[in-house]
Chain A
Amino acid sequence: MELLIREKLLALYIALLILDPGLLRRSPWLLKPDTLCSLATLFIASRAAELSGLFSRVSVTIVRRFSEMPFMLYAMVILSAGLTAMLITNDAALFIYLPLVASIERVWAVDLLPLYVMTTIGVNVHSALTPIGNPQNLFLWQHYALGFTEFVVGLAPFTDVATALLLIYALALATRVERCSKPPPPLPVRVNRVLAASSVAMLVALVTLTHLSVS
């Protein structure tokens, strides 16, 4: 019972099985092994990068430099997450930047809930600019046989407006960030280089193989 309370999707699945017993037979065909493998790889790479101390290291640098300028910190995280999403898809970018925001929050000791939300929105907004930014764009790009530049130029006005609105909103939110009484931590932790390199290599391999398989 405890398991069902914790695993809500499993509970939902059992409820659906009661309503539709034939679902059990069809279930294996509903699974997408490729997607599951990609997500598992992303989880592992993201967790490994976090555990290697890489995010902590970057967070200490960011907080030291921008703790007095919350808007700059917000803008930098949102825009770099967006730029990453344009190149490696929105989902993969979120797997990198949400743990980074969590790490910044831990180092800075301030509530960064708005930054989590803004990063998620930013990643989706910016990923819309390029054909490889998200799966929908890939589909549209291939379906309409558009050139890369043509695609980007066509979508640039929308993403530019969305980016401007996002930054204005970030400015409004960043002014409300409570200043932490504690100074940023004096020392970073040593990065576990093997783990960090493995996670980056895994991510690069995943993105490359995904792009190759769809092109």
Chain B
Amino acid sequence: MRSWRRGAQQLSEELARRAIEAVKAALPYVVAGPPLIHRGPAGELHVDVPLMYHGFALDRIHCDPVAKTPSPKGRPAHVYGVEVRREEVVEVMQRVVRELRVVEAAEFRDPEDAWMVPLAWRLYIVAHVKVSYEGSELVPDYGLTEEVRRYVA
């Protein structure tokens, strides 16, 4: 819809580069938020950790509480009969966040009018950061931000 409003403005590699640079500049300010521990109907647990940028959640990283590593995006680890220690998850994820790197490529999502820049931990893509069309602002995940605030409160 926004693209239609922009008329002739096109996507370019320069815009993608700007979005990637924006995420690189913001990455030092990204911290791991409080772990969100979800319990499924069969008693399974899965743990997500939000990536917070000045109080706003950008995306969630799935955390495998048994392996004590993040899971690739799109495949949350479901565990049964394991007691998840919140402090341990925080400790693991703080280390993971320090090791995150920005992937030098971006996809563009037209309906959201935003670039999606992947964040990688080792060989896994673990999260995406959404950046505005012109690369001037980060687009938080407002739904996740609300969830984090509800959860913490």
Chain A residues near B138: list those with CB within 8 A. 187-190
Which of the residues B28, B132, B146 comes within 8 Å of A190, measured between beta carbons? B132
Separation of A195 and B28 alpha carbons in the complex (Å): 28
Chain B residues near A189: list those with CB within 8 A. 53-54, 56, 137-140
| Residue A75 is within 8 A (CB to CB) of chain B in the complex | no
- With A185-B26, A187-B26 already in contact, the answer to whether A192 and B54 are too (CB < 8 A) is no
Chain B residues near A187: list those with CB within 8 A. 22, 25-26, 136-138
A188 in contact with B137 (CB, 8 Å): yes
| Residue B43 is within 8 A (CB to CB) of chain A in the complex | no
Instruction: Give A60 Cβ to nearest chain B Cβ, in Å.
Output: 8
| Residue B149 is within 8 A (CB to CB) of chain A in the complex | yes
B139 in contact with A106 (CB, 8 Å): no
Interface size, chain B (Cβ < 8 Å)? 19
Interface centre among B29, B54, B145 (most CB of A within 10 A): B54
- With A56-B56, A106-B55, A185-B54 already in contact, the answer to whether A190 and B137 are too (CB < 8 A) is yes
Contact with B along A173-206 (1 / 0, CB 8 A): 0000000001001111110100100000000000
Instruction: Give A137 Cβ to nearest chain B Cβ, in Å.
Output: 35
Separation of A120 and B22 alpha carbons in the complex (Å): 36
| Residue A87 is within 8 A (CB to CB) of chain B in the complex | no
Chain A residues near B22: list those with CB within 8 A. 186-187
With both beta carbons as reference points, the residue of chain A lying nearest to B24 in the complex is identified as A186
Contact with A along B117-142 (1 / 0, CB 8 A): 00000000000000010001111101
Separation of A195 and B132 alpha carbons in the complex (Å): 18
With both beta carbons as reference points, the residue of chain A lying nearest to B113 in the complex is identified as A190
Separation of A103 and B56 alpha carbons in the complex (Å): 11
Q: Which residues of A approach B to under 8 Å, CB–CB?
A: 51, 53, 56, 60, 103, 106-107, 182, 185-190, 192, 195
Q: Could you jot down 28 A-B contacts, CB within 8 Å?
A: A51-B142, A51-B146, A51-B149, A56-B54, A56-B56, A103-B54, A106-B55, A185-B26, A185-B29, A185-B53, A185-B54, A186-B22, A186-B25, A187-B22, A187-B26, A187-B136, A187-B137, A187-B138, A188-B138, A189-B53, A189-B137, A189-B138, A189-B140, A190-B132, A190-B137, A190-B138, A190-B139, A190-B140
